[in-house]
Structure 1
Amino acid sequence: MKLAIVYHSAGGNTKALAEIIHSYLPGAEIYRIADFSLEKIDEYDGLLIGTYTWGSGDIPAKMLSFYRELEERDISHLTTGVFGTGETNYKHFCNAVNHFRNMLYINSNLAVVLKVEQMYQTTDLKRIKKFVELFQNKVRNSI
């Protein structure tokens, strides 16, 4: 089972969330979006995508081309998940996660979605572990 975690973070919250998720997925490869090549996508059984939300619920510019490329590719073989950080005081809390979720639901085997308020807290660890467990089980059952 080959897994990748690809994320983009501006303030460090999404990076921290990606790293804690990675700690629960030993053997998974973790990449900043700038370091990941979509040419390698077919090597993976599972892909987790991490993003924050920009402006009025938008996908950050650095993630937008990745989103569009995934949307155009055949990723039906992939089990996917998306996670992100945001602030609940914004009208469109974690809306970039919603955009990815909707696209992945149509184009891949979407397994899990996780939204976290800003920097994850110890109270979020149970949800994060459950997110990882569900993802791993779906990948295993898909291979």
Structure 2
Amino acid sequence: MDIIIIYTSMTGTTEQMANIIAEELMKVDKRVVLKDSIEVQAEELISYDMILIGSYTWGDGELPDELVDFYDELRHTDLTGKIFAIFGAGDSSYTHFAKAVDILEETVKGQGGRILVDGLKTDRESEDNLNESCRLYCKKLTQALELVWAH
């Protein structure tokens, strides 16, 4: 199974999440490509079995500037039959906690993609908590993938 993880990060938390998730998926024999969102074009996604997108939330519930070009392409790409999972860092002191995760999930669904598991939203986690949250998320992902491929 070929998986791509696309992320954008400002403080490094979402990048750290992407790295942990990639490591965990590689432990269960998944082939993983990890790319910053500014290095990816949406049309590349078609060649992967599963796509993970990670983003922090900017301002009052907006996508960060670094993700806008990729996002605009994503909104115009047919994602029918593609499997996705979304993750991101947020700050619960804001009204729209980790809203980028919700925006990306809605967009993927609108373009025909399938969200495999609910998005992972982290809130200023300690490093230990962040590692554990990402590991549990990967466990859910791999279990859900097993069900998908069994049918």
The alignment's TM-score, normalised by the length of structure 2, stands at 0.84
> Cα gap change, 1:122/1:103 in structure 2, threshold over 3 Å: closer, same or farther?
same
Partner of 2:69: 65
State the Cα distance separating 1:133 from its structure 2 match: 2.7
State the Cα distance separating 1:120 from its structure 2 match: 5.1
> Cα gap change, 1:32/1:137 in structure 2, threshold over 3 Å: closer, same or farther?
same
Which of 80, 85, 88 aligns to 1:81? It is 85
1:56 maps to 2:72: no
- Is the Cα contact below 8 Å between 1:52 and 1:96 reproduced in 2? yes
State the Cα distance separating 1:124 from its structure 2 match: 4.1
Among all aligned residue pairs of Structure 1 and Structure 2, give the percentage whose two residues are the same amino acid.
27
| Alpha-carbon displacement from aligned partner over 1:47-105 (angstroms, at most 9, x marks no partner) | 00000001111011221222221121111121001100011111111011111111223
Taking only aligned residues, the RMSD between alpha carbons, in angstroms, comes to 1.9
| Alpha-carbon displacement from aligned partner over 1:6-36 (angstroms, at most 9, x marks no partner) | 0000111111111111110112110011222
Partner of 1:129: 135
Q: Which moved more, 1:30-39 or 1:55-64?
A: 30-39
Q: How far apart, in 2, do the equivalents of 1:120 and 1:28 lie?
A: 25
Classify the secondary structure of the residue corresponding to 2:9. Answer: coil
Specify every segment of 5 or more residues in structure 1 that has no aligned partner in the other structure, as ranges: none
- Is the Cα contact below 8 Å between 2:41 and 2:73 reproduced in 1? no
Amino acid at match of 2:14: T
Amino acid at match of 1:47: I
Q: Which moved more, 1:13-22 or 1:58-67?
A: 58-67
Which of 109, 116, 121 aligns to 1:115? It is 121
Give the length in aligned residue pairs: 143
Classify the secondary structure of the residue corresponding to 1:24. Answer: helix
- Is the Cα contact below 8 Å between 2:43 and 2:77 reproduced in 1? no
